[in-house]
């Protein structure tokens, strides 16, 4: 059933994508490219789990008024799909990135995040029977080669030689890719604001309950940089999650999964700029790995 629905969708190419969609793509790249430095600052005072739960909890509160307003328009029979989209598109990646960035620099997190289009293509092929060209196969190989260069580069690539933490980010991009395909399959005719409001309303109470039981409030009142970190995660939630989630869902609805995930072209550039401004260093393995990944994405788009 899912496959037949996708086959019936109108094919949208780069030639007929509107300027509005391109504008959303650029805006998203700036917002999301800045997310990694904000995670880094939030981790100064709070644990990775606290940062992830704060991000989800604040976002759910921000969407609460929209949830009430749109209540009658929500198809609650799809609650499992809403929960799936919220988990794979926000909750799991938020946690994985926060844990990984205890060992991985913000700039490198942004570079590895660009693997999303590769996984989008792979999952689209295996789960939704989308076709893959020879250029896209080469793109997948190039992308994973670049990721391997980054992760196995060790300390010179600023990943502290720990493959596990770099792999967490790769798994997060896998979640993003699944989320892109899930939105396209389950919510093609659903308003982006409804998708966001419902998915976060299902996750928010759990996140806020965890914070109430953890040592978050003690940390908030005792840590020297608590309010600095709180401001960072609040900005991350309101812009990097609330605003960007609505924009991204709209972009997917107006275009297609591959175009939407190609925001990962520009995210690494923004992340690297922030990282360099914060004193992070750029090494040759980083440059080679990033260039290889971006080459892979280009081949995917070309295909």
- Residue 291 main-chain phi, psi, to 5 deg: -60, -40
Greatest mean pLDDT among 162-176, 242-256, 278-292 lies in: 162-176
pLDDT at residue number 121: 80
Number of Cβ atoms within 10 Å of the Cβ of 278 = 13
How far from the centroid of its chain's Cα atoms is residue 239's Cα?
Answer: 13
Domain annotation covers residue 142:
yes
Task: Let me know: does 35 contact 236? Beta carbons within 8 Å.
Answer: yes
Domain annotation covers residue 67:
yes
Domain annotation covers residue 1:
no
Tell me the per-residue pLDDT of 208-266, one tens digit each, with 9 for 90 and over.
Answer: 999 999 889 999 999 999 999 999 999 999 998 889 888 887 887 787 766 776 776 77
Domain annotation covers residue 12:
no
More confident residue, 298 or 61: 61
Least confident of 108-117, 158-167, 250-259: 158-167
Asked whether residue 157 carries a pLDDT value surpassing 50, the answer given is: no
Asked whether residue 103 carries a pLDDT value surpassing 80, the answer given is: yes
Domain annotation covers residue 7:
no
**Number of structural domains, the chain?**
1
Q: For residues 65-85, give the mean pLDDT.
A: 94
Asked whether residue 155 carries a pLDDT value surpassing 50, the answer given is: no
How far from the centroid of its chain's Cα atoms is residue 219's Cα?
Answer: 27
Distance CA 171, CA 21 (A): 27
The residue written with tokens 């981790």 in the block is 43
Residue 276 to residues 3, 35, 279, 281, 297, Cα–Cα distance (Å): 44, 15, 5, 6, 24
pLDDT at residue number 104: 87
Domain range holding 271? 18-302
Tell me the per-residue pLDDT of 26-70, one tens digit each, with 9 for 90 and over.
Answer: 899 899 899 999 999 999 999 999 999 999 999 999 999 999 999
Domain annotation covers residue 8:
no
Residue 10 to residues 6, 16, 125, 253, Cα–Cα distance (Å): 9, 12, 18, 11
**DSSP class per residue in 145-164:** HHHHHHHHTGGGGTSTT-HH
Distance CA 50, CA 32 (A): 20
Domain annotation covers residue 158:
yes
What is this structure's pTM?
Answer: 0.82
End-to-end CA gap in the chain: 26
Tell me the per-residue pLDDT of 186-213, one tens digit each, with 9 for 90 and over.
Answer: 888 888 889 999 999 999 999 999 999 9
Least confident of 133-142, 148-157, 191-200: 148-157
Tokens of 81: 């799909």
Domain annotation covers residue 90:
yes
Distance CA 99, CA 97 (A): 5
């Amino acid at each position: 059933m899912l496959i037949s629905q996708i086959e019936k969708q109108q094919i949208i190419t780069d030639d007929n994508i509107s300027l509005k969609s391109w504008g959303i793509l650029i805006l998203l790249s700036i917002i999301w490219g800045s997310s990694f430095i904000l995670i880094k600052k939030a981790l100064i005072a709070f644990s990775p789990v606290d940062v992830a739960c704060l991000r989800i909890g604040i976002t759910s509160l921000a969407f609460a008024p929209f949830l009430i307003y749109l209540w009658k328009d929500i198809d609650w029979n799809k609650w499992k799909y809403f929960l799936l989209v919220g988990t794979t598109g926000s909750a799991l990646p938020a946690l994985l990135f926060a844990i990984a960035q205890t060992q991985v620099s913000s700039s490198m997190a942004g570079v590895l995040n660009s693997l999303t289009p590769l996984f989008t293509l792979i999952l689209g092929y295996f789960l939704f029977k989308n076709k893959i060209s020879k250029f896209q196969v080469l793109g997948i190989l190039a992308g994973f080669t670049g990721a391997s260069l980054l992760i196995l580069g060790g300390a010179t690539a600023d990943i502290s030689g720990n493959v596990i933490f770099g792999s967490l980010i790769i798994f997060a991009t896998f979640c993003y890719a699944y989320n892109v395909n899930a939105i396209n399959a389950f919510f093609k005719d659903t308003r982006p604001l409804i998708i966001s409001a419902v998915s976060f309303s299902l996750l928010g109470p759990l996140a806020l309950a965890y914070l109430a039981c953890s040592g978050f409030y003690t940390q908030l009142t005792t840590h020297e940089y608590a309010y600095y970190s709180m401001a960072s995660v609040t900005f991350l939630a309101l812009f990097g999650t609330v605003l960007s989630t609505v924009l991204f869902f709209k972009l997917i609805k107006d275009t297609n999964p591959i175009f939407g995930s190609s925001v990962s072209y520009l995210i690494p550039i923004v992340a690297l700029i922030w990282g360099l401004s914060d004193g992070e260093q750029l090494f040759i393995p980083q440059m080679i790995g990033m260039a290889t990944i971006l080459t892979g994405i280009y081949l995917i788009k070309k295909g």
